[in-house]
Chain A
């Protein structure tokens, strides 16, 4: 994973309503997924990233009164737009979520860092993470700290970091996470338990 999420993404995202039936991310993602036969995460990552960022931006500008982004909702919306009505196979879903997890981390942290850099006038980013029925609210500063901790965790234990991204940033349930990673629910629960504890210690080390 790229440890420097500040790297600017390539271009301005196209506006949603202008999308046509072909040549757009919807078809593209599906095509990549279909043709890749695995390992498509890297390829679709920029597309998913663009999609997520554009949805996030639209939200931020539209809902002035409440600047709380729901990470899960973003992913679901991106999913719907990129894969459309096509019912992707299990392997495609897996790759999509894996990419979405990474993309989500970057989008959120980009937003957070940018709003911190702008200081005055910038939007104070607030995000809800985790499962939609039990959301955890997090502010920009903590989000950045969490990102650093997650980078450190990924270096020690990629599996635990992956579970964290899926559970926490994408909002997948234990079952969905297990399905996505192709491991047992019990393993997910264990990885998640460890990841949380380790992230806590990393966060407190960072703040100390």
Chain B
């Protein structure tokens, strides 16, 4: 039986909000036991008061001590959970570094995992403005450390004042900071504690360089999400610099993102330009805690130029206007209204320095936004995000339609408004705000579309033709943003409109048909696509672009309906027509190659796969000439080809394709994008299958570093990734680390889907099984039996899972010397395993079970 002590100690490693569920599950329904453990957990919170806090553990290190290849020289800094030493390396090169190590006594799984994750994230960063990670490891006692580039300099504010820098030089330094922070954001790291003391300026050959230090450590070493942990110490004293803390950072319910750093950059700019922090130190110091929090949340500071007080002051004159607005935009209370990223702030500063108009402005800034958008309209074509193109396209076409309509009916005012709006949103999207382009925060875009939709509904007095075009554009954008129902409504409205030419209506039918097909509603889709093909071919001939699209769509429908023959005929005809009319290196011709290859892959009759590979190789080849290296179609083609190659066992070539696709994704997609994760994880699995474990692990680690298990949309991916990573470690013989990953999966699965969920039970089963493999059957046994009992109730028909669990329990029993029970359980499990569909995994389990029975017989 597990003691309250064990349960308590395991629970302590979890984030506070996950503990109760964990305890309830581990106590297996024993209410009294739950009470005892929860009592211990509650008592734990108060222990520091009575027994002193964690710092009571001495660092145990002295100058002259060695860690890895480094000799400690002196302690140069200390945070809540880590200590920084100046240290020297003699071999193989002589250098002085900053060595950061976790304080002793803090090695909970939680803290360790985050320290390690952060070190890895830091290691990914390659930027002159960020102190580089050089090396890392753990002491003999398991305390992790890493060595960083040592920055010899003073804080940015001190440097600027000491050297009497002017506005442009100050802006130049902030620009460097922005670029560094932006780089980190692209790697998925939010600093969260940007302030002058964390931004050091160093001189190299007389040139000043800003370097951001302490990157993400605050995040890495914060052991658990304590309320307001960033703001308050345990005795209620304020730490950090409240002036640099965004409102959301003092609100425990909000997860902090990159925009908190944008806020801090704003505060830094404010201080460097006006000479004072946004909120005067004295005011905050005197305010008391509650008042201070209120100020940070609610009070807007005066514009920097106003803060200087003296309107004739050189700096006040220089910063009035654009710079005021840039700073204030960064300091917006509502992060939705701030710049989306540090990169945009950098662009703004650069524009200001170059005398160009900036995006930010006083409330009547729409005209500037439009001006900006016009200057950059060509760049739309280069925007990496499909989403951005879609919306910009939609909004632009709405604006164009309205312009046409305005000429018609004369509502110039309305047109102007629309132009402003579209220009403004265009400018936002051009900034490639990662939150927007990731599809993570599409609310803004959906708002625009909703607004457009309402206007069309209530205000538009145009001909049906105009309305149809606008609605099709809105519908298309809705589809692009994953709102098929709203898209469907728009397309259906178009079908109700009266039109002089049937073509628009036929196109709407095709769009609606494709949409329904994508949603799996094949029967509804069929008549629409059939009518569209028939009508368009009649009206425009078979080789008009619109007809060809409809014919290709119908081909896909047939394929989905399982009519492979019909689909093949359509696809081959479409491919021939596209190629003949538009040339073989036309985007649509290549898409047709792709379609046909997919069909052949699905059908997989003799010769199909080889032809499919041929087609895809051609497609990938042609793709090179047509689209940019990073075009989404190219990605798709590479992935398809890789998939095909792996199907015929040409795994080595397949890996090349996937690696190439992944390199593109890493370049164009924002950190953490779902497609990036899928790419990394597929590649990792393939490498794993090929036995290339180090590469597989590197990919898993990279994927894990960018997935947020707290995010609803990615939590399942996060668990699967971690689990597969564990399997990989296990295969590589790293049993202990694999066990750690499995345990982490248990926690994640329980938090995401509840302790009784099938996934959580499966993870628990794997973690406990790993314990058995580690020779800790005694600990594992109660957990395994509990999982088995629960699975029997939860998924009585999942024979495979139950079989595996019975074998596991049996082997644990064997290890504990319970031979008779062990034999019975393993035999039960084996019978189950034999009854399910054969697979490699099942084979392995059957072998394991047989092997175990052998050893029992020997005894």
Interface, chain A (partner B; CB < 8 A): 129-131, 133-136, 157, 160, 167-168, 173-175, 178, 184-186, 189-190, 192-194, 196-201, 203-204
Is the contact region of chain A dominated by helix, strand, or loop, or is it mixed? helix
Interface, chain B (partner A; CB < 8 A): 5, 8-9, 12, 39-41, 43-44, 46-47, 50-53, 55-58, 60, 104-105, 107, 141-142
Chain A residues with CB under 8 Å of B44's CB are 193, 196-197, 200
Nearest B residue to A168 via CB reads: B51
Chain B residues with CB under 8 Å of A199's CB are 47, 50-51
**Which one of A135, A189, A201, A204 lies within 8 Å of B52 (CB-CB)?**
A135
Nearest B residue to A135 via CB reads: B52
The distance in angstroms between the C-alpha atoms of A197 and B45, with both chains bound, is 8
Chain A residues with CB under 8 Å of B41's CB are 197
Nearest A residue to B57 via CB reads: A174
Question: With contacts A184-B141, A189-B107, A200-B47 known, is A173 near B60, CB below 8 A?
Answer: yes
A133 touches B56 (CB 8 A): yes
| Chain B min CB distance to A26 (Å) | 28
Question: With contacts A130-B52, A136-B52, A174-B105 known, is A201 near B39, CB below 8 A?
Answer: yes
Chain B residues with CB under 8 Å of A196's CB are 43-44, 47, 50-51
Chain A residues with CB under 8 Å of B55's CB are 133-134
Chain B residues with CB under 8 Å of A157's CB are 5
The distance in angstroms between the C-alpha atoms of A174 and B58, with both chains bound, is 8
B5 touches A194 (CB 8 A): yes
A173 touches B43 (CB 8 A): no
Instruction: Sample 18 A-B pairs with CB under 8 A, ordered by A number.
Output: A129-B52, A131-B52, A131-B56, A134-B56, A157-B5, A168-B51, A174-B57, A174-B105, A175-B104, A189-B105, A192-B105, A194-B5, A194-B8, A196-B47, A197-B8, A199-B47, A200-B46, A204-B43
Nearest B residue to A164 via CB reads: B51
The distance in angstroms between the C-alpha atoms of A130 and B142, with both chains bound, is 23
| Chain A min CB distance to B619 (Å) | 55
**Which one of B40, B107, B141 lies within 8 Å of A198 (CB-CB)?**
B40
Give me 13 other A-B pairs in contact (C-beta within 8 A), A174-B105, A197-B44 excluded. A129-B52, A136-B50, A136-B52, A175-B141, A184-B141, A185-B142, A190-B9, A192-B105, A193-B9, A194-B5, A196-B44, A200-B44, A200-B47
A173 touches B40 (CB 8 A): no
Question: With contacts A130-B56, A134-B52, A136-B52 known, is A197 near B47, CB below 8 A?
Answer: yes
| Chain A min CB distance to B49 (Å) | 9
Chain B residues with CB under 8 Å of A131's CB are 52, 56-58
Question: With contacts A135-B52, A168-B51, A194-B9 known, is A201 near B40, CB below 8 A?
Answer: yes
Question: Of A131, A168, A174, A178, which is in contact with the most chain B CB atoms at under 10 Å from its CB?
Answer: A174
Chain A residues with CB under 8 Å of B56's CB are 130-131, 133-134, 136, 167
The distance in angstroms between the C-alpha atoms of A167 and B104, with both chains bound, is 14
Chain B residues with CB under 8 Å of A200's CB are 43-44, 46-47, 50
| Chain B min CB distance to A155 (Å) | 14
A133 touches B58 (CB 8 A): yes
Chain B residues with CB under 8 Å of A133's CB are 55-56, 58
| Chain B min CB distance to A74 (Å) | 17
Question: With contacts A193-B9, A198-B43, A201-B40 known, is A185 near B53, CB below 8 A?
Answer: no
Question: With contacts A134-B52, A134-B55, A175-B104 known, is A197 near B141, CB below 8 A?
Answer: no
- Nearest first, the 9 A-B pairs at minimum CB distance are A200-B43, A196-B47, A134-B56, A136-B52, A197-B44, A131-B56, A130-B52, A173-B58, A197-B40
B57 touches A173 (CB 8 A): yes
The distance in angstroms between the C-alpha atoms of A160 and B5, with both chains bound, is 10
The distance in angstroms between the C-alpha atoms of A168 and B56, with both chains bound, is 10
**Which one of B43, B53, B104, B142 lies within 8 Å of A197 (CB-CB)?**
B43
Chain A residues with CB under 8 Å of B39's CB are 201
Nearest A residue to B139 via CB reads: A185
| Chain A min CB distance to B218 (Å) | 22
A201 touches B107 (CB 8 A): no
Question: With contacts A130-B51, A173-B58 known, is A186 near B40, CB below 8 A?
Answer: no
B107 touches A186 (CB 8 A): yes
Chain A residues with CB under 8 Å of B105's CB are 174, 185, 189, 192
Question: Of B57, B105, B142, which is in contact with the most chain A CB atoms at under 10 Å from its CB?
Answer: B57
Chain A residues with CB under 8 Å of B104's CB are 173-175, 185, 189
Chain B residues with CB under 8 Å of A135's CB are 52
